[in-house]
Amino acid sequence: MNALPTIELVNVAKRYRVYPSPRDRVLEWISPRTRHTTFDALRGVSLALHQGDTLGLVGDNGAGKSTLLKLIAGVIQPTGGELHVRGSRLAILDLSVGLNEELSARDNVLQQLGWYGLSRQQALDRMDGIIDFAELGHVLDRPIKTYSTGMKVRLGFSVLTSMSPDILLVDEALSVGDLAFQQKSIQRMMGFKEQGKTIIFCSHSLYQIEQFCDKALWVQNGAIQMFGPAREVLQAYEQYQLAKGRQAPAHAGVPAPAAPVRIESLAVEPPPPITQGSALTVKARVAALLPGVRFHYSLSIKINGERGLVVVGSHLAGEPPLQGSGELNITLPEHPIAAGHYAFHLRLWDESGMVVLAETDIPDVAFLKQDDLMGLIRTPHVVRWQASESGGGQ
């Protein structure tokens, strides 16, 4: 690890002037009257990341995450504090920005790599790898304006990640595009992580951040709410979301025609309500739409939130992926749930455990307790009591 951080922020702030109209902006230039209000997008942010750190960035919409990424990327400048970035940096903030609609994919690659300081010959040397990764060889010389959004996204990601910066800033880039693109993107990001790059990854997927990042930063109202190990920060962030009484966002997943597997049915036996302490089995019928497809599973039992009260899964446990069609049975011989209403959420993941292939849920499974204890779950425990020799009484 380098002695100096690769990214260092000391009390960084970003303040914007907000004008009622463009006319007020002009009038303020020529008159002493103040016509604007101010908005603090970031305030008092201090942070240090070293080589090899992978940081997940979480927070509500409008909390300041994108502003922070843009400051570190050099797209905008802070209005207060100190910001130091040591090493080359690459920002993947909008994959279609910079593409010239009138030029072909070939010419766009040459133009964009030229902007990053590569010679024409260096750009030509990378051309085949970029086009092969983006899978655009059949339309290489067509104008970009004839491309679909997904094709533009693939080209933009392929061009940007063909370079090897010291610092990589990623804003939701892994959640766009089709399934194949998501898988290839994650593989390339994993490669950057293995090379010891410093990576900041902004995503609404807490699962992806927990799997990919070592640290996490929770930004709230333009300030740091919490910074530390990813699991600790994500747990606190999810508790905050639940406290707001907000329902967990619906996961669109992957459209069925594009997914290589499909969940045909999901059921719990015995049928609810389920008595405390009894065995239960979750049964899912899975259909493979491509021969030999391999996939992981995860099952969440939860009241609310993405991470689940109880979670089991093959990738999480280091087990090999499943393959083909069949029936998945997950049995909890002595489940810990005593009472309440829970959702059972089953996801199927690709081999990396990062891309959702299919998902479904049972929204309301009732549990009935059989004892007089309080609380929603029961855990095995041992109680010991040893009276002290000096404790009174005969």
Q: Is 16 left (phi over 0), alpha (psi -120 to 50) or beta?
A: beta
pLDDT band at 252 (very low <50, low <70, confident <90, very high): very low
Tokens representing 53 are 């750190």
In this structure, CATH architecture of domain 259-368: Distorted Sandwich (2.70)
Residue 10 pLDDT exceeds 90: yes
CA atoms within 13 Å, Cβ hemisphere of 78: 23
Q: Are 203 and 126 in contact (CB under 8 A)?
A: no
Pick left, alpha or beta for residue 141 (phi over 0 → left; psi -120 to 50 → alpha; otherwise beta): alpha
Model confidence over 13-70: pLDDT tens digits?
999 888 888 887 888 788 888 888 888 899 999 999 999 999 999 998 888 998 999 9
Q: How far apart are CA 194 and CA 217, in angstroms?
A: 21
Q: How far is 123 from 72, CA to CA, in rounded Å?
A: 26
The strand pair at 37-49 and 7-18 is best described as: antiparallel
The alpha carbon of residue 387 and the mean position of all alpha carbons in its chain are separated, in whole angstroms, by 52
What SS3 state is found at 186? helix
Instruction: Fill in the amino acid letter for 361.
Output: D
Q: Is the pLDDT of residue 4 over 60?
A: yes
CB 167 within 8 A of CB 196: no
Q: pLDDT at position 391, please?
A: 41
pLDDT over 60 (residue 245) = no
Mean local confidence (pLDDT), 89-100: 77
Considering only CA atoms, give the Rg of the chain: 26
Min mean pLDDT across 87-91, 241-245, 346-350 is at 241-245
Dihedrals φ, ψ of 192, to 5°?
-60, -40
> What number is the average pLDDT over the span 270-295?
85
Give the integer Cα–Cα distance in Å for 50 and 7: 7
Mean pLDDT of the chain: 82
- Amino acid letter, 181: F
* Nearest residue to 95 via CA among 23, 162, 150, 31: 150
- Does residue 250 surpass a pLDDT of 60? no
Band of the pLDDT at 394, cuts 50, 70, 90?
very low
* Paired sense of beta strands 215-220 and 223-229, if any: antiparallel
d(CA 37, CA 19): 7
Full DSSP string of 102-163: TSBHHHHHHHHHHHTT--HHHHHHHHHHHHHHHT-GGGTTSBGGGS-HHHHHHHHHHHHHTS
Question: Which of 13, 14, 11, 2 shows the shortest CA–CA distance to 167?
Answer: 2
- Do 83 and 9 meet the contact criterion of CB atoms below 8 Å apart? yes
pLDDT score of 51:
93
What architecture does CATH give domain 7-243?
A: 3-Layer(aba) Sandwich (3.40)
Tell me the average pLDDT across 92-118.
82
d(CA 28, CA 146): 44
Q: What is the mean pLDDT of residues 126-148?
A: 86
Between CA 347 and CA 323 the distance in angstroms is 15
Query: pLDDT tier at 253 (50, 70, 90 boundaries)?
Result: very low
Parse the chain into domains and list their residue ranges.
7-243, 259-368
DSSP-derived 3-state class of residue 121: helix
Whole-model pTM: value is 0.67
Give yes or no on whether 7-243 and 259-368 have one common fold: no
**Average pLDDT of 106-121?**
87
Supply the pLDDT for residue 138: 84
